[in-house]
């Protein structure tokens, strides 16, 4: 006969063997969960074990699935959390990171026995193999996020990844174009039709996935503005998704010179559309292929961007550095950082100032000169 003690019970299974059980709630699918453990010894020892289980449960330190491996848990996390909360590309990225860097190393480890030292050993091995510290930090972000969910699901009492140390990532000095180089770059861009996409990038500060997703419907010729409403994703095909953050959805005022180039570009694209006839895909994209399909950053980089830089006699930078150039030029001209932050679509002004801290010394010198002039004439 089972003896019920609070939410638990003790049931005799054999000579000096007892089944201790405790109702612990319901799982994410609404199914009843009971924690059970076999205790060998006297009934008093079984009662002590049950009291200990009850205390651990009340304190949030009870491990509810001692047989689950890290592989088992990560598969459940991908299915029940990551794929529900993130885009397919992000969730696939989580799976790829785990399979590539964690599965063979610690995948068979029991979840309840996983320690910070196990995770630390993975990081050390990755660094020994020559992986970039930033890559190791990304791996840490994935496993930390997954194990945080394990704590919320009461599969772990605490997250061991929080105790593992990640390598220091030294901020790389970004090479951006100065005002003179920017003019040289734009002059070279205007020599080929596709060059307008790079001119647009450097004059708006948009992310590549944003300006490759802008449509003619987003452009207001009268107000000279463009709206950022979506982002282009290339993952097992292509698709549009929401902008990166709520602040990423924004309106940007365009300079007259760029508006003029866009007007000419629309006329050219209309001719291309008529020429392609039924082969033209009606996506309404401002920047697209000769058949109306989306462009990709790798293709733009190797076929057009790098040759343009080479012909202009400029250093080889990344396409994304056009965005950094845009921000650096504005901040160097003492534009209000809040305005720059809004133009870039950053979530906070703190992110803007941290990203472009290399510009701050120049801004501080300008502020010092202004203060000197105000006080001492």
On whether residue 373 sits in a domain, the answer given is no
Same domain, 30 and 140: no
Are both 122 and 43 inside the same structural domain? no
pLDDT at position 377: 64
Q: Do 322 and 354 lie in a common domain?
A: yes
The pLDDT score that the predictor gives to residue 4 is: 39
Indicate if 127 and 217 belong to the same structural domain: no
pLDDT at 358 over 70: no
* Higher pLDDT among residues 35 and 209, named by residue: 209
Among 155, 157, 117, 122, smallest CA distance to 138 is for 122
Residue 170 lies in a domain: no
Residues 272 and 190 in one domain: yes
Final residue belonging to a domain, choices 115, 131, 163: 163
For residue 170, what pLDDT is reported?
A: 78
64 belongs to a structural domain: no
Each residue's pLDDT tens digit, 20-34: 888 877 765 677 777
Q: Which residues of 310-332 are buried (b: 16+ CB within 10 A; e: fewer)?
A: eebebeebebebbbbbbbbbbbb
55 lies in the same domain as 149 = no
Residues 42 and 113 in one domain: no
Query: Is the whole-model pTM more than 0.85?
Result: no
CA gap 197, 203 in Å, rounded = 10
Tokens of 155: 């599969």
- Note whether 28 and 152 are same-domain residues: no
Q: What SS3 class is residue 318?
A: coil
Q: What is the pLDDT of residues 36-52, one digit of tens each?
A: 888 888 989 888 888 88
Residues 229 and 309 in one domain: yes
Q: Is 198 among the domain residues?
A: yes
Instruction: Clarify whether residues 216 and 319 are in a common domain.
Output: yes
Q: Give the residue with greater pLDDT, 366 vs 207.
A: 207
pLDDT in tens, 233-258: 887 788 888 887 788 899 999 999 99
pLDDT at 66 over 70: no
Per residue in 256-291, pLDDT tens? 999 999 999 999 999 999 999 999 999 999 999 999
CB under 8 A, 24+ apart: contacts of 241-244: 241/87, 243/210, 243/345, 244/207, 244/345
32 and 139 inside one domain: no
Q: Which residue has the higher pLDDT, 323 or 7?
A: 323
Of 163, 195, 226, the position where a domain reaches its end is 163
Percent of the chain scoring above 90 in pLDDT: 56
Query: For 71, how many CA atoms within 13 A lie in the half-sphere containing its CB?
Result: 9
Inside any domain, residue 146: yes
Higher pLDDT, 121 or 346: 121
pLDDT surpasses 50 at 306: yes
Q: Tell me: pLDDT of 1 over 60.
A: no
pLDDT of 302 above 90: yes
The pLDDT value recorded for residue 3 is 42
- Report the pLDDT value the prediction gives residue 166, as an integer from 0 to 100: 92
Give the domain CATH number at 159: 1.10.150.130
Q: What is the average per-residue pLDDT within 319-331? A: 91
Which of 141, 30, 32, 136 is closest to 82 using CA atoms?
Answer: 141
Q: Report the pLDDT value the prediction gives residue 351, as an integer from 0 to 100.
A: 75
Count of the separate structural domains present in the chain:
3
* Lookup: tokens for 34: 């009971």
Report the CATH number at residue 273: 1.10.443.10
Q: Render the burial of 3-18: b for 16+ CB within 10 Å, e for the rest.
A: eeeeebbbeeeeeeeb
Q: Is residue 173 part of a domain?
A: no
> Nearest 5°: phi and psi at 115?
-120, 160
Which of 339, 331, 325 is CA-nearest to residue 366?
A: 331
Range of the domain at 145: 70-163
Higher pLDDT, 183 or 29: 183
Q: Does residue 65 carry a pLDDT above 70?
A: no
| Domain boundary residue, one of 108, 130, 163 | 163
Is residue 152 pLDDT above 80, yes or no?
yes
> Is 276 in the same domain as 340?
yes
Tell me the C-alpha distance between 276 and 229, whole Å: 27
Nearest-angstrom CA–CA distance, 3 and 137: 50
User: What is the per-residue pLDDT for 70?
Assistant: 94
Average pLDDT over every residue of 342-367: 74
Of 83-97, 218-232, 337-351, the range with the highest mean pLDDT is 218-232
Tens-place pLDDT, residues 92-145: 999 999 999 999 999 999 998 899 999 999 999 999 999 999 999 999 999 999
What pLDDT is recorded for position 2?
42
Provide the percentage of residues in the chain whose pLDDT is more than 70: 91
User: Which range has highest mean pLDDT (191-200, 232-241, 364-373)?
Assistant: 191-200
Q: Is residue 252 part of a domain?
A: yes
């Amino acid at each position: 006969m089972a003896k019920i003690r609070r939410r638990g019970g003790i049931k005799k299974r054999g000579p000096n063997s007892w089944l201790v059980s405790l109702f612990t709630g319901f799982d994410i699918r609404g199914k009843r969960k009971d924690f059970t453990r076999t205790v060998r010894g006297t009934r008093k020892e079984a009662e002590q074990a049950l009291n200990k289980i009850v205390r651990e449960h009340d304190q949030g330190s009870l491990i509810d699935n001692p047989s689950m491996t890290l592989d088992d848990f990560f598969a459940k996390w991908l299915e029940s959390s990551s794929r529900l909360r993130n885009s397919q590309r992000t969730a696939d990225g989580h799976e790829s990171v785990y399979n590539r860097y964690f599965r063979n190393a610690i995948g068979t480890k029991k979840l309840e026995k996983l320690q910070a030292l196990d995770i630390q050993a993975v990081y050390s091995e990755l660094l020994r193999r020559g992986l970039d510290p930033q890559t190791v930090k990304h791996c840490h972000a994935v496993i930390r996020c997954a194990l945080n969910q394990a704590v919320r699901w009461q599969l772990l009492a605490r997250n061991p990844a929080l105790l593992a140390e990640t390598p220091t990532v030294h901020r790389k000095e970004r090479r951006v174009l100065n005002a003179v180089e920017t003019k040289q770059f734009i002059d070279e861009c205007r020599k080929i039709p596709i060059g307008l996409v790079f001119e647009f990038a450097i004059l708006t500060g948009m992310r590549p996935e944003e300006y490759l997703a802008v449509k003619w419907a987003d452009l207001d010729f009268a107000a000279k503005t463009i709206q950022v409403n979506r982002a282009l994703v290339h993952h097992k095909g292509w698709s549009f998704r929401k902008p990166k953050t709520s602040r990423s959805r924004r309106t940007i005022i365009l300079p007259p010179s760029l508006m003029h180039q866009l007007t000419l570009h629309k006329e050219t694209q209309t001719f291309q559309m008529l020429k392609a006839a039924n082969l033209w895909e009606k996506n309404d994209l401002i920047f697209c292929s000769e058949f109306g399909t989306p462009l990709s950053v790798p293709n733009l980089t190797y076929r057009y961007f790098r040759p343009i830089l080479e012909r202009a006699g400029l250093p080889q930078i990344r396409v994304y550095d056009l965005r950094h150039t845009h921000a650096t030029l504005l901040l160097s001209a003492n534009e209000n950082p809040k305005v720059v932050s809004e133009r870039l679509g950053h979530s906070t002004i703190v992110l803007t100032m941290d990203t472009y801290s290399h510009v701050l010394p120049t801004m501080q010198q300008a502020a010092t000169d202004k203060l000197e002039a105000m006080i001492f004439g």
